[in-house]
A and B are shown apart, each in its own frame.
Chain A
């Protein structure tokens, strides 16, 4: 399977994602330049973390208009898998691939830390190798990660099982203390109505090896293989 990793000016996790796919997953990966119009036959698109366009205006607001995003949107519309990680999640929201928005962390601090998320839905193409309720250790590194959405959208996400990851403490409890940025209902990751676009603030590509302190992100990538290849 071929993964396309989009590089925007200011992306800084594209290399991490590339290496996670090639070295850990053993699959093919290619960089997709933001000015191109060609997904180069990629089956899965990754919008990586970083500070695309310096986060000017709002995080992700300008990247959304990069030429490659037209193809990414078409890929998503056709049911193709797209993963937006951190800045990629912000871009996916700005592009309308996912509902809601990511605002400045409630405490105004940039947080770079390993946190825990609870798997809320293990029946998605991105999480089918996890158990529902499982606690994962995955790093975050962001200043604008507070997920917000209108009440009716939050209700829709909750009732449709589209909240995939929630910030939790070590015992799995969803508490204010475990919420690193003030996200509504501790939301760390969501999927689109079609289930093929995942947005998450934590970085699974940085949790792909014992050397990095956690391997909990590996099964996210492997889940895609089992589902898409099937």
Chain B
């Protein structure tokens, strides 16, 4: 095999291998980008689910707090009435 043939074959092979590699590299890049996007999407979904769960927890806590507040208001009203009666009794006893 003469030198010129060798050089031509080497150049053709080099160009061919470069072409193959460029194609494979581009495919790998696209796949990596897609994977990255999928990962970020799954992160967003996880974050959204976490937020939803937290909102539900906070809503339940708010309902509980409302219930407790109502009970406390009732108790205060009851005590105020009792207090008023007791004061009146004390006044009656004092005036005797």
Q: Do A and B bind each other?
A: no
Listed in ascending order, the chain B residues whose CB lies under 8 Å from chain A are none
A contact residues vs B (CB 8 Å cutoff): none
